[in-house]
Amino acid sequence: MLELEGRKFGADDAGAWSGPQQQALAGWKSEGDMVLSRTVHFPARGVWYVWLKVSCPGPWPALITYDLDGVQPLLSARKDILVQPGTKAGWVTWSRFPGFRIEVNVDEPGEHVLRFTRVQGNAEIEKILLTLFFSAKLAGDTLDMAGDPGGGRADFPHGDLSIDGYRKDYHLPEVRASGTTYFVDPDAGDDGGPGTSPTQAWKTLRRVNAATFAPGDAILLNRGAKFDEGLHPGGNGTEAAWITVGAYGEGDRPRVRGMGCPGFALTDQSNWIVRDIAFTSDPEYRRDAISLEVSKGAPRARGAKILNCLAFDSGGDGISVGGNAGYDGVLVENCLTFCNLGDGIDVHGSTAKGSTRNVAIRMCTAYSNPGMAGIWIQSAENGLIERCLAYNNACVNIWTWNAVNVTMRHCEAFRGRPQRDAAGFDIDWGSQACTLEYCYAHHNEGDGFLLMGSGDLEYLGHTMQSNHNIMRWCVAEGAAPIDMGETFNHCKVYNNLSVASGARAHAFKVFGWPNDAKGGNGGWPKDTEVVNNIFIARDGAIGLMVDDYGTTQDNRWDHNLYRQEGMKRPLIRWGGRENGPGFWDGDKKTGSFPPAEYPDLASFRSATGQEAHGLEADPRLSGAGAGEYGRLPLAGSKPSAGSPVHGAGRRAILTPEWLAARRRHLTETGAEAWGIPMDPVPDDRDYWGEPPGGKFPIGPGA
pLDDT averages per 10-residue partition of the chain, 702 residues? 65 31 41 76 84 86 87 64 85 78 83 87 85 90 87 68 84 96 98 98 98 98 97 98 98 94 98 98 91 95 98 94 95 95 94 84 94 96 97 95 96 92 96 97 96 82 88 97 97 98 95 82 94 97 97 97 93 95 89 96 98 98 89 92 94 95 97 97 94 88 85
Give the CA count within 13 Å in the CB-facing half-sphere of 480: 25
Alpha-carbon span 391 to 344, nearest angstrom: 10
Domain boundaries, the chain: 2-153
Following CA atoms 439, 370, 352, 290 in sequence, which dihedral angle do they give, to the nearest 10 degrees? -100
Give the CA count within 13 Å in the CB-facing half-sphere of 106: 23
| Consecutive H or E run containing 337 | strand 336-338
Q: Considering the entire predicted model, what is its pTM?
A: 0.94
Pairing label, strands 46-56, 87-92 = antiparallel
What does the pLDDT read at residue 420?
84
Q: How far is CA 170 from CA 333, 336, 415, in A?
A: 10, 12, 26
Give the CA count within 13 Å in the CB-facing half-sphere of 465: 18
Q: Which of 406, 446, 404 is nearest to 424 (CA)?
A: 446
What does the pLDDT read at residue 30?
54
> What phi and psi values does residue 618 have, to the nearest 5 degrees?
-85, 115
- DSSP tag of 260: T
Cβ-proximal residues to 682 (8 Å cutoff; 6+ apart), any chain: none
Report the phi/psi class of residue 443: left, alpha or beta, with left for phi > 0 and alpha for psi in -120 to 50: left
Q: Which of 223, 228, 212, 202 is nearest to 281 (CA)?
A: 228
Does residue 578 contact residue 548 with C-beta atoms inside 8 Å? Answer: yes
Specify the CATH superfamily of domain 2-153.
Answer: Galactose-binding domain-like (2.60.120.260)
